Amino acid sequence: MNVSSCYEAAGAFAYGTLKAKSNPDAPGRTASDVMTDLERSSCPGAGACGGMYTANTMATAIEAMGLTLPGSSSYPALSPGKARECERAAEVIKTTMEKDIRPRDLLTRESFENALVITMILGGSTNGVLHFLAMANTAEVKLTLEDVDRVSNKTPFLADLAPSGKYLMEDLYKIGGTPSVLKMLIAAGLINGNIPTVTGKTLAENVANWPSLPQDQAIIRPLSNPIKESGHIRVLRGNFAPDGAVAKITGKEGLSFTGKARVFNKEHELDTALSKGEIPRNESLVLIVRYEGPKGGPGMPEQLKASAAIIGAGLKNIALVTDGRYSGASHGFIVSLSFVFFPLESYPVVINLDILRKNRLDTSRLKLRSEGPLPWLRMVILSSLTPLKIALISRMLLMTSWRREGRIGNLPSPRCEGVLWRSTLGLWATLAMAL
């Protein structure tokens, strides 16, 4: 069991597809019994989520950047290896102080390239892109979505790891862990082994004595037989994402998707629709979740519940797009626009998505079906009604006073002007209610 299994089971339960593995629906083996068993058995141990989710994506990437000890990202939390690593950390701290090795010495263009390569090889989370861009910005290293796209185009996807695959990080640890993968990639010229690391040695020196991957292992495909010839993280452009968006496409979802857009204002609205079974199976839909991004979150909470429920329910006619970010455990046809900080005010209101056609994210002119009002616009209009009314009344009183004093003339009568401004207020209020 892992974290995404729980949410996938919830989706299967909502759509009536959750069954016991044997003797389904027998007494004690109903869908409700299965859910109860899952709740009691979920996430029983220490450590990060077991798949190539956000935590393991960042851990493997940071190890490939030379910022952690060899093996750090793949040791199970309670293993003897992790305990030994903790003891070695003191030695490394001493080394970094003696040699004056600082984080910015290791956060280089070459190390970020390594991070991108290992993320593509292992099928890591799109959140890695978000974090790499932020890290590079802080370290004053130029890194853009174009770099992500370039590395993805030249790097094969090799790892059969969750969420898209069947193995977990502990399985990778048993065949040599991250250092064995890095050793293979350095030999193949895909990873730069000459970068400095916290140990005072190069990355290649750190992994030189590590065992090579076993010939008969099935977790990491050979370079000659990849799961996908290019990376799973795709950078999209188009009139819906003029500054770029990021999609996680492992290959099993297909390479294009066209469907009618259906919009939800916050993830919980989509969660509710899924729990009620309101998303149909017989219609291709692009479900858009907005107001979860940098300006609307707040805090850009990662989204997993909806995407996992869709997988669990077996809804293969769905693509997901958000202005926020997805959990590393999410998989399926998912696109995030958070990487370019897409402003809420720029959202088009008339769209139909045609995504992933030659790395495009475009819209047609069909009308968008909205699941609710445009709350931010409605709020602005409603909040402006009272001060607008006060301003208009004040103007009417001032105009009347000036008219009596003969200071102005050739203006509509107070009665006509009152009708005019009342009509303006009425139209403004009607617009707010229509939204």
Determine how many CB atoms are found less than 10 A away from the CB of residue 222. Answer: 12
Cα-Cα-Cα-Cα dihedral sign, residues 305, 311, 312, 313:
positive
Catalytic choice (327, 330, 336, 338): 327
| Residue 77 structure tokens | 């939390």
Whether residue 348 contacts residue 364, with contact meaning beta carbons closer than 8 Å, is answered with no
3-state secondary structure the chain: CCHHHHHHHHHHHHCCCCCCCCCCCCCCCCHHHHHHHHHHHCCCCCCCCCCCCHHHHHHHHHHHCCCCCCCCCCCCCCCHHHHHHHHHHHHHHHHHHHCCCCHHHHCCHHHHHHHHHHHHHHCCCCHHHHHHHHHHHHHCCCCCHHHHHHHHHHCCECECECCCCCECHHHHHHCCHHHHHHHHHHHHCCCCCCCECCCCCEHHHHHCCCCCCCCCCCCECCCCCCCECCCCEEEEEECCEEEEEEEECCCCCCCCEECEEEEEECHHHHHHHHHCCCCCCCCCEEEEEECCCCCCCCCCCEECHHHHHHHHHCCCCEEEEECCEECCCCCCCEEECHHHCCCHHHCCCCCCEEECCCCEEEECCCCCEECCCCHHHHHHHHHHHHHHHHHHHHHHHHHHHHHHCCCCCCCCCHHHHHHHHHHHHHHHHHHHHHC
Q: Is 401 a catalytic residue?
A: no
Give the residue numbers annotated as catalytic, written as ranges.
327
